[in-house]
Amino acid sequence: MGIISRVPIIAEKIPGGAIVATSLEKILNLSRASSMWYLLFGTACCAIEMMCTGASRYDFDRFGMFFRASPRQADLMFVAGTITYKMAPRVKRLYEQMAEPRYVIAMGGCACNGGPFYYDSYAVLKGVDLIIPVDVYLPGCPPRPESLMEACIKLQEKIKHEKLQDWSSDKRG
Amino acid sequence: MREPQAGYTEEFEVNMGPQHPSTHGVLRLLLRMDGEIIKNAEPHVGYLHRAIEKICENRTYPQCIPLLDRFEYVTSMSTEEVFCLAAERIAAIEVPERAEYLRVIMLELNRIASHLIFLGTFSLDLGAITPFLYCIRERETIMDLFEMTCGQRLTYNYIRVGGVSQDIPEQFLPLARKFVDTFQARVDDYEALLTENPIFLARTKNVGIVNKQVCLDYGASGPVLRAAGVEWDLRRDDPYSIYDRFKFEIPTGTVGDVWDRYMVRVKELRQSNEIVRQALDQLPTGDIKAKMKPLFKPPVGEVYARIENSRGEMGCHIISDGSTKPYRLKLRGGSFCHTQLIPEVAPGIMIADLVAMFASLDVILPEVDR
Amino acid sequence: MADSGTIIRLLVEKFPSQVEAIELNPVQTAVQIDPKIVVAFFEYIKTHPDLKMAYLSSISGVDMTTNIDIVYFISSIEYKHKLTVRTKVERLGGKIDTISTMIKGANWFEREIWELFGVEFVGHPNLTQFLLPDDWDEGPPMLRDWTGRNFVKMPEIGG
């Protein structure tokens, strides 16, 4: 996809060409943000709230979000639940199996920094950002479905501000 | 005419890994397969071992309760109840009447919510998506009831040592009565979708049979044991709280297959509804918490308390050394024994049947891993 | 249903010097046994016609700083009575016979006590890594004086 990241540079040289670059940017970002398919991955209590958010009353489908079981077909991973040292290598492997562009929302206190299991526990990883890069942190134990939808909307806004120059690189490293 | 040639086959290992839509949590099953037939299934657990028991040794009794909520998060009220029951038995505290009735109402509503999640995820595993959406719609009403009482949808911190933490608000009773009156018709709806459906019957009748002797050997409890034909319910056989004041039946199955476990839970939905109706009718006025000192310091003692959870027997072993923190706290959930049934039942069946059987055991991994 | 006194009398008669009744708070039927007779004891209470206790609820390990206690909770489905059985093993390197060949449900309970407390169950079919990560090398973590690399102790708040 190196061609698309060169579009702004080429468009600058043509008079009035910048508008092509920004319109293309807007359309591509909008299409990415409106159809995020998330990976069904939940370990603990936050997984039940994630399931409830995807079901009746709070519906994820109206955002264009639908669950996929395989990481190859997903764009977004909710890390919902406590991550232990035994589970950490598997989470990293799941993240690496997802195709770019990929985003991560750390849902709940346990994924943000260890949560109620920070003190006195010998087996809990104190925050999932120690192993994978996180885009949105969502505190709560467990966070309400409305909070989860707010986090998704924030992620959509973050995506809509992305630049075309960064299209071909995974800028989060 | 050509004769069929004998082919060369080989067994291979497949990993039904920690991330899988049908393992209900982080369970890893190492399957040894011969084509589609399973030769051996070995469960690997420990992906959610959070050392709750070690943490609780360094927390006071009221501080342990929110942690124990996270131990069995689908029925948090049961975990709090078993812990408070054990602590009250050591310290010989008597809980007031109104608190007992409120506890029973919350416990039975929680049992209904848990069975609704079972029904939803069980049918999702078999490929039917509609019952899941219907069950979550009912569950949302129960979550509204809990939220107006204690402020939380999932992990409540409501049942305390000596009673409950808050009284119910005025809007609780009309909404609860409306729920109880309409719920029987809803259960009829779910049964109309699933029970006589020929595809459902073909996938669940005579599949994954766990018979009576295997259940008793492994210490299985709850709906798994009742589906095998043993009429054992701790609310009647090892009574606790005020369950002897309510009339309810104990449904049992005959063979112990997936269909029996499903039917036992559907009938339990109706029975729990009846218990909530009777409790709402008999609810007295009074205190909601026993008079205790502000700092709870039980005498030296040791007790094992057990209650009937929606998944089986939930037990709590507390050893107290006279201080404000428990010396040893050990929890036991029904899923711990049920996961051991997999290597016993799996050989000889296909993967699709294993998925149906495992979903019908209704296992929650934190009960296994703690 | 046999009452508490009858159960204890039957057990003490069969194993005179190795079983004794103990008193706990709250009052319950409880005995302390010698660890060497553990298999014979559970065989007896499973097959005796007045006891018939074969439904194992739980086995827990307790670190009492001088030794490790193992506590069994067993009950009967026919008669609805229950029993608490306590026994002691050494703290570091203790051994006791396994009952998992007789009561299959004890398998995972004993495996967990082996992993978290370090007690070896002689004759157990599968004492392998269970709850802890595969590369765990810091010793049995549930002992009271254990500390490890990633263990953050909660600070005392106030006074």
Closest partner residue to A82 (CB to CB) among B21, B48, B153 is B48
Strand partners, B313: B308
pLDDT along chain C (159 residues), means of 10: 81 85 85 90 89 90 91 90 91 89 90 91 89 87 83 70
Domain of B260, in residue numbers: 50-365
Asked if residue A173 has pLDDT above 50, the reply is no
DSSP secondary structure, B13-82, as one string: EEEE-SS-TTSSSS-EEEEEEETTEEEEEEEE--TT---HHHHHTTS-HHHHHHHHHTTSGGGHHHHHHH
* Minimal CA separation from B41 to chain A, in Å: 20
In a domain, B259, yes or no: yes
Closest partner residue to B49 (CB to CB) among C57, C82, C132 is C132
Comparing CA positions, the residue from B340, B319, B305, B337 lying closest to residue B53 is: B319
Q: How many CA atoms lie within 13 A of B234 on its CB side?
A: 23
Contacts of C151 in chain A (CB under 8 A): 120-122
Contact B315 C142 (CB under 8 A): no
Q: Give me the interface pTM, i.e. the ipTM.
A: 0.90
What are the structure tokens assigned to B185, written together?
A: 């018709």
Contact C154 A123 (CB under 8 A): no
Contact B46 C130 (CB under 8 A): yes
Mean pLDDT over A148-154 rounds to 93
Q: How confident is the model at residue B23 (pLDDT cuts 50, 70, 90)?
A: low
Closest partner residue to C152 (CB to CB) among A85, A86, A119 is A119
- The residue behind tokens 């009447």 is B97
Distance CA C13, CA A74 (A): 67
What are the structure tokens assigned to C81, written together?
A: 């009575």
Closest partner residue to A122 (CB to CB) among C134, C150, C154 is C150
- The share of chain A scoring above pLDDT 90, in percent, equals 38
In a domain, B40, yes or no: no
Contacts of A119 in chain C (CB under 8 A): 152-154
In a domain, B37, yes or no: no
Contacts of A79 in chain B (CB under 8 A): none
Contact C77 B89 (CB under 8 A): no
CB B325 within 8 A of CB B295: no
* Of residues A168 and C22, more confidently modeled: C22
* Minimal CA separation from C144 to chain A, in Å: 12
Minimum mean pLDDT among B247-261, B270-284, C138-152: which range? C138-152
Q: Residue C158's pLDDT is what?
A: 54
| SS3 category, B215 | helix
In a domain, B11, yes or no: no
Burial classification of residue B356, based on how many CB atoms lie within 10 Å of its CB (0-12 exposed, 13-18 middle, 19 or more buried): buried
In a domain, B15, yes or no: no
Q: Which of residues 33-62 of A touch C (CB under 8 A)?
A: none
Contact A116 B154 (CB under 8 A): no
Contacts of C152 in chain B (CB under 8 A): none
Contact C152 A120 (CB under 8 A): yes
Distance CA A22, CA A25 (A): 5
Structural domains in chain C, CATH included, are 4-92 (3.30.460.80)
Mean pLDDT over B214-231 rounds to 92
State how many domains chain B has: 1
Is A118 at the interface with chain C, CB within 8 A? Answer: yes
In a domain, B351, yes or no: yes
Asked if residue B309 has pLDDT above 80, the reply is yes
**Torsional sign, CA B235, B238, B243, B249:** positive
* Minimal CA separation from B216 to chain C, in Å: 6
Q: How confident is the model at residue B277 (pLDDT cuts 50, 70, 90)?
A: very high
Closest partner residue to B26 (CB to CB) among A39, A87, A120 is A87
Distance CA A59, CA A55 (A): 6
What are the structure tokens assigned to B32, written together?
A: 């040894």
In a domain, B43, yes or no: no
Asked if residue B308 has pLDDT above 60, the reply is yes
Contact A84 B19 (CB under 8 A): no
CATH code of the domain covering residue B254: 1.10.645.10
SS3 for A112-139 is HHCHHHCCCCCCECCCHHHCCCCCEEEC
* Of residues B4 and B136, more confidently modeled: B136
Mean pLDDT over B263-271 rounds to 93
Mean pLDDT over A15-24 rounds to 81
Strand partners, A104: A77
Mean pLDDT over A50-78 rounds to 89
Q: Residue C159's pLDDT is what?
A: 40
Burial classification of residue C106, based on how many CB atoms lie within 10 Å of its CB (0-12 exposed, 13-18 middle, 19 or more buried): buried
pLDDT in tens, B59-74: 999 999 999 999 889 9
Contacts of A121 in chain C (CB under 8 A): 151
Q: Residue A40's pLDDT is what?
A: 80
In a domain, B75, yes or no: yes
